[in-house]
Amino acid sequence: MAELVFLGTGAALPTATRSNTALAFLPDVAAPGLLVDCGGDIYSALLKADLAGDALSDLFITHAHIDHIGSLPSLLESFRLGGRGAALRIWGLREVLAVAHRLIDAFDFELTLDSWSFPVAFAPVAHGDTIQLAGMPARVVAMDHTVPSAGLRLDLPGGAVAYTCDTQPNANITTLGEGARLLITECTYLRAQEPYARVSKHMTAYEAGQQAAACGAGRLALVHIGVGDALDAVRGEAAESFAGEVLIPNDGDRIAL
Q: How far is the CB of 66 from Zn ion (least distance, A)?
A: 8
Query: Least separation, in Å, of the C-beta of 202 and Zn ion?
Result: 8
Residue 67 in the binding site for Zn ion (CB under 5 A): yes
Kindly tell me which of 11 and 49 has the beta carbon lying closer to Zn ion: 11
Nearer to Zn ion (CB atom), residue 27 or residue 169? 169
- What is the contact mask toward Zn ion in residues 2 to 21, using x (rule: CB under 5 A)? ----------x---------
d(CA 247, CA 221): 5
Q: How far is CA 42 from CA 77, 79, 102, 171, 252, in A?
A: 12, 11, 19, 31, 12
Which residue, 166 or 237, has its beta carbon nearer to Zn ion?
A: 166
Stretch that binds Zn ion, among 23-31, 64-72, 124-132, 228-236 (CB under 5 A): 64-72
Residue 127 CB-density burial (10 A; 0-12 exposed, 13-18 middle, 19+ buried): middle
Near Zn ion by CB under 5 A: residue from 18, 65, 84, 153? 65
CB 65 within 8 A of CB 99: no
Give yes or no for a contact between 149 and 142, defined as CB atoms under 8 angstroms apart.
Answer: yes
Residues pairing with 153 in the sheet: 139, 162
Give the three-state DSSP class for 211: helix
Q: Which is nearer to Zn ion, 33 or 40 (CB)?
A: 40
Residue 111 or 165 having the CB closest to Zn ion? 165
153-192: contacts with Zn ion (CB under 5 A) = 166
Please report how close the Cβ of residue 246 comes to Zn ion at its closest, in angstroms.
20
CB of 13 or CB of 86, closer to Zn ion: 13
Which has the closest alpha carbon to 179: 209, 141, 212?
Answer: 212
As measured in angstroms, the least distance from the Cβ of 199 to Zn ion is 13
Q: Which is nearer to Zn ion, 65 or 89 (CB)?
A: 65
CB of 58 to Zn ion, least distance (A): 20
- Residue 207 contacts Zn ion per CB under 5 A: no
Q: Is 37 in the site for Zn ion (CB under 5 A)?
A: no
Ramachandran assignment for 234, one of left (phi > 0), alpha (psi -120 to 50 degrees), beta (any other) = alpha
The footprint of Zn ion on this chain (CB under 5 A) covers a number of residues equal to: 4
**How many of the other CB atoms lie within 10 Å of CB of 230?**
14
Contacts of residue 73, defined as CB under 8 A and 6 or more positions apart, other chains included, come to 103, 104, 106, 107, 111
**Contacts to Zn ion by CB under 5 A:** 12, 65, 67, 166
